[in-house]
Structure 1
Amino acid sequence: MGASRLPAFLRFGHLVTGSATAAQDAVQSALAGAFERWERLESPGDADAYVRRAIANARISAWRRFGKRQVVVAEPAVLDHPDHGTRLIEQDAVWRVCAQLPPQQRATVVLRFSEDLDYDEIARMLGCRPATARSPIHRALIALRTLLAEEDR
């Protein structure tokens, strides 16, 4: 796993945590953990999955630890695209809605739709069955539809 994966991990971390700073911390911790277990990771794909799972688990654990005492101020994801203005407006709108999801739902939505993983891969990353991985995504999509309908009013 080379430095070329760092931007993808940071994007993933930003989508999961809602903060560029928290994403950097989560990615650093995940990469340190991967380095410690490098001999046990069989392929680069395993290392990628391990790092993404560690990032998602770190966010979920932090949420459980601090719960509602911790207020997350969502930052819009800033990605490099040719049409910056339109793209940033779209990303900001999507991020504001996704930031309202609970951490586990947000993590599974990011894995499914941003990382384009199928349910089996998500389940393997989260250490659960595919049906268990589908459940938070299903609940998140219902919540997103509700939130978007409320914003349209």
Structure 2
Amino acid sequence: MTETFHEFVVHRSPALSRRAYLLTGDHQLAEDLLQSALARTYRHWRRIRGGDPEAYVRRVMYHQQVSWWRRRRLAERLESEPTDRPGADHSDATALRLALAAALRQLTPRQRAVVVLRFYEDLTEAQVAEVLGCSVGTVKRHGHDAVRRLRAIAPDLVDRTAERSPR
């Protein structure tokens, strides 16, 4: 049992870590979130290893993130613009990622979860509702509010992403 779980962690941690970062907007919180989700997953490994364990871990992460937010353990750090660091890559792609990360940090955790699930994970509204344990209408409302807020706080992102997407 331990060997298969270890294999799963080694192979899937990078992708799960990226998702955790998108949910939290902070590298240390993302590490904590992933570690917490993997610890919970390990307790149920016998039951879930035959199915889709990655989906289970993602679901645990989404629920844990919302739970942290509800208990107000997370102190959101809102920055209007990302800080520049010496020696950082200043390419257009990096600037776009930083602007997107800054914009995502300004969303509520629930809105961020909906955006990540809908647009990064490419899930349907019904699938997002199932993962988050809410109604499709709630997903639609959070998604609508999130996109509206992203357009208001970062209108240049819409233009820049439209230019980069294949036609």
Which category of TM-score, normalised to the shorter sequence, fits these structures? 0.7 to 0.9
AA aligned to 1:143 is R
- Does 2:109 match 1:103? yes
Matched residue, 2:163: none
AA aligned to 1:97 is A
- Does 2:23 match 1:16? yes
DSSP 3-state at the match of 2:129: helix
- Report if aligned partners of 1:50, 1:125 keep a CA contact under 8 Å in 2: no
Between the two proteins, the alignment pairs up a number of residues equal to: 144
What TM-score do the two structures reach when normalised by structure 2? Answer: 0.74
Give runs of aligned pairs for residues 32-71 of structure 1, distance below 5 A. 32-41=39-48, 43-45=50-52, 47-66=53-72, 70-71=75-76
The Cα offsets for residues 66-93 of structure 1, whole Å up to 9 and x where unpaired, read as 26x824367x7xxxxxx98222111001
- Report if aligned partners of 2:23, 2:116 keep a CA contact under 8 Å in 1: yes
- Report if aligned partners of 2:25, 2:104 keep a CA contact under 8 Å in 1: no
Identity of aligned residues (%): 37
Could you list the structure 1 runs, at least 4 aligned residues long, displaced by more than 4 angstroms after superposition.
none
What TM-score do the two structures reach when normalised by structure 1? Answer: 0.80
| Aligned-partner Cα distance in 2 for 1:24–1:8 | 12
DSSP 3-state at the match of 2:71: helix
Report the RMSD for the aligned CA atoms in angstroms: 2.8
